[in-house]
Amino acid sequence: MIRHIVFFSAADPADIERIREGLMMLAEIPHSSHFEVGRNLQSDSISQERVDLVVYGEFADEDALAAYKAHPIYTDCIARVRPLRELRIAADFASA
- 48 backbone dihedrals φ, ψ, rounded to 5°: -95, -15
| Residue-level pLDDT at 48 | 80
Mean pLDDT of 11-36: 97
pLDDT digits (tens, 9 = 90+) for 37-93: 999 998 888 888 889 999 999 999 999 999 999 999 999 999 999 999 999 999 999
Helices (H), 1-96: 16-24, 62-70, 72-81
Q: Where are the domains of the chain?
A: 2-42+50-94
> What is the pTM assigned to this prediction?
0.92
Pick one of 3.30.70.100, 3.40.250.10, 3.40.50.300, 3.40.50.410 as the CATH number of 2-42+50-94: 3.30.70.100
